[in-house]
Structure formats: structure tokens, C-alpha cells
Structure 1
Amino acid sequence: MTSRLTTLVFGALTVVASAVCVRLGFWQLDRLTQRQAQNAIVSARGAQAVLSMGALSGQDTSATHWRRVRVEGVADYERELVHATRSQNGSPGVYLLTPVRPLDGSWGDTVLIVLRGYVYAPDGRTIDFATARERDTLRMEALLTSFPPPKPGMARMQSSPRAMRLLDRDTIATMMGRPVAPFILLALGDTIMQDITRPTRVPPPPVNEGPHLSYALQWFSFATVFLVGFAVFARTKRR
């Protein structure tokens, strides 16, 4: 009786564990489907014509997300910020966040934030802003990206007044003293570092399917191992 009870308990645990693994496998397949749909949107919008800053004004940014934009505006380097604790090619650094006023005046008093690039910083938050400047009038192509979802915690770093721990739109607007557009413009260009004191463009997010399929196969494999293991165990007990 004890042996039979042990087999039943082991069998029940095996079924539960296998069911969890199968559920996680299908969850990864769902994420793969979502990723593929997102990739299709990114690829389609990336192939469309470059937008002007004036064309963005008043539009639903969800419809223009991942579109390429032609930036022509005056940079306000005095209010420039950094997104701290970033890395590129394994080196610590920051992302430069530059407020820009479009030359055509299409956005009025609203600040446009341009992520100009990555700058090396050993402590991940401190750079020489003066050497990282480009021209006063910026002319470049950029990718329209969204602010990340809100996260708990302080957005600003206590130790560095111009360093952001989190990219929070409301906090940045308070620091700028002006409204901030509901998107971030990722400057496009050379992503190979030439000078550690000068900004290097940040590569756009890769358009790939990620590890979801391999993760799904792993979870299904775990479920199979549990079931086969129980079958061997039960057969051994009967013998």
C-alpha cells in the first residue's frame, strides 16, 4: 500500500509539473507570435517615407511609432540630461538626452527629446557635456520610439543632478520647465565608436524573433523528461 501510494503521489506531482512546463511552453509561443507581429510593424514602418517634424505634430504617436523622422532643430545643450548606467559593446556609459526645438516651430513650446547617442563614462553617470556637443543646429534622421512604461522609484539620481535613472516623461518635463513630446527620437548614424568623449549613435532595437522558440522547446522537453522519468519509475516499481 505504501509503495502504491508513493507511486500515485509521484504520478500526481509529475502531471502537475508537466502541465506547468507545457503551459510555459505555449506562453513562450504566444510571445513569439507577438514578437513576429511587432517585427512586421517595425519593418513596414521603417520602409515608409521619412517624416518631417511638422508632419508629426498632432498625430497619434502610436501610429508613427518606429517611423523615421527628419530632425532639424536647435539643441539646448544647457538642459541636456543623461540616461545613466547604460552600456555599449560591454563598456559602461550614458545615453545623451538632448532637448531640441524644431526650426519650423511646429511644436511650439514643447520640447523634443533626442537620444543623441552613447558616451563612455567609467562611473556610468558622469561625462563632460561640453566635449559631447555637436552643432547648435542639429540635422539628422531619427527613429521615433516611445518612453518606457513607468517604474517605481526615483527617476533622478541623487548623486548627479543631470542624470536620470529612469526615463520618466513627467520628471523630464519638470526639469525642463516646459512640456515634453510623448516620444523619444533615437538619432541614427554611425554606431562605431571613434572617440570616447563624443557621442556614438545607439543601434536601433534588432528586428529578430528572440529566444522564445528555443525557450518553448526547452519547456516542452522538461515536460517530456518528467513524463518519461515517471514511466521508468513506475515500471521499475512494478518489477
Structure 2
Amino acid sequence: MTSKAKTIVFGVLTAIAAAVCVRLGIWQLDRLQQRRAQNAIVVARGEAPLLSVADLRGQDTSITHWRQVQVDAVADYEHELVHATRTQNGSPGVHLLTPVRPLDGSWGDTAILVLRGYLYAADGRTVDFGKARESDTLRLKTLLTSFPPIKAGQARMQSSPRAMRLLNPDTIATLIGRPVAPFVLLALGDTIMTDITRPSRVPPPAVTEGPHLSYALQWFGFATVFVIGFVAFARTKRR
């Protein structure tokens, strides 16, 4: 292959590589726009008026997701569970899941699952449920969140009957002995731990733009490097 032919082949490969990098950069910018649109929805819903638990009956949770909800309910501490192997500020622990029964009776026998907070647990699953109790009747401001997508595998930890590896609503309903509402309410409040036997609230998900902009700049930078490298190569060959 002649020197000119090698330069042409190198140029074609460089153009393809640069085009792929540019396309990936544009894709990241599209992801950024989607993230910003989603953030705008989250912020708007967070600033909307409080809903009551009764308002959620029959609602599409995709519409009420991230809305704040006022909870006045009786706690079912006997059927509390934990979401195992959670962390907060680098410490191992669990998320405390408390079934509650609204005082207005709007949900009948269906349990509303409230994530009351984080509890320290050295092994990531064992806690003293008795010490973690609050009042029998809970009055909480909460954030409506959804159950995570169902994954394959054992939802319940065999070594700890009240610990969940995966938040599967069907498994939870079986464990507590009654139906479970199709959402989880995240209790809002003080996230600072002052007593390792008492739950501290779990911070709501942060509204950020993520790494999409930096990734886009990186891809555009790679494309620029490819082009500059080819130009330098071509000039060297001509000399």
C-alpha cells in the first residue's frame, strides 16, 4: 500500500471514530435535557400542595410520584420489616419499613408502607425494633415514591425473617398478612443521627443534572483529539 493510500485509510478511520464520538456527545446532551425536564417535574411536584393519603386512592402513581403526602395513621409495629444492607454517611444499616393504617379508613385493610428512616446495623440487617418505635399514632410529612423494579432472586433474607433483600410488594404483603399499597412513602425530617437505636430520616433523592454534561465534553474532546492527530500525521507525511 502506498503512502498516499495509507493516509486515506487513516483519514477514513479517523473520520469514523470522530463521528462516533460526536454522536455519543450529542446523545449525552439529549440525556441532559431529559434529566433537566425530569428535575423540573420533581421540583414542581415538591412545591405543590400537600396531598392526603385518601387522595392517593385510585390515583396513577406516575402522576403523584414525588408529591408530598400528609400521613395520619396508626403504626403496625408488629409487622415492621427492614430493607437490609443500606448505608448512610458511610455507615452500614437498614431502612425501617413500617406498615400503617390511615386514621380516616380510606384504604380499608390495605397497608401503607412508610420508610420511617435509617437505622445503624453493624451486620446490615439486625436491629432492635422495640427501641426504634415512635408513637402509636404517626403524624408525618412524607414523599411519595415507587417500589423499585422487581428483580429476580430471593426477596427475603433467610438468615433474618424480617429483613428484605429486595422490596417486592407481593412478598411484603405475604409477610404482613394483608394487601400493600403500590407505593412507598418516604418520611421527611431530620436526617442527622443522634441515637443509633432511633431512626434518622432518609434524605430524599437529590435533584442534580448528573454527569451527562461532563461526559458530552469528554466525547467531543476525544473527537477533537482524533482530528488533530490526523492533521498532524498528514502534515508529517507530506514533509
Pairwise same-fold verdict (TM > 0.5) = yes
Say if 2:155 is the partner of 1:155: yes
1:17 aligned partner: 17
Divergent runs of 4+, >4 A: none
- CA positional deviation for 1:151: 2.2
Distance 2:197 2:17 in 1: 53
Pairs within 5 Å for 1:1-239: 1-239=1-239
The code of the aligned residue for 1:206 comes to: A
- CA positional deviation for 1:15: 2.5
- CA positional deviation for 1:237: 2.3
**Root-mean-square deviation over aligned CA pairs:** 1.6
After superposition, the C-alpha distances for 1:115-139 in whole angstroms (9 at most, x for unaligned) are 0001111222221111111111111
- CA positional deviation for 1:3: 3.7
- Structure 1 SS opposite 2:162: strand
Distance 1:54-1:236 versus aligned 2 partners, 3 A rule: same
Equivalent residues, number: 239
- CA positional deviation for 1:71: 0.7
Distance 2:23 2:173 in 1: 43
- CA positional deviation for 1:205: 0.9
- CA positional deviation for 1:29: 1.1
Distance 1:20 1:179 in 2: 50
TM-score if structure 2 supplies the norm length? 0.94
Distance 2:101 2:79 in 1: 12
TM-score if structure 1 supplies the norm length? 0.94
Distance 1:16 1:159 in 2: 54
- CA positional deviation for 1:2: 4.8
- CA positional deviation for 1:198: 0.8
Distance 1:6 1:115 in 2: 64
- CA positional deviation for 1:187: 0.1
- CA positional deviation for 1:13: 3.1
Distance 1:43 1:120 in 2: 30
Distance 2:128 2:179 in 1: 26
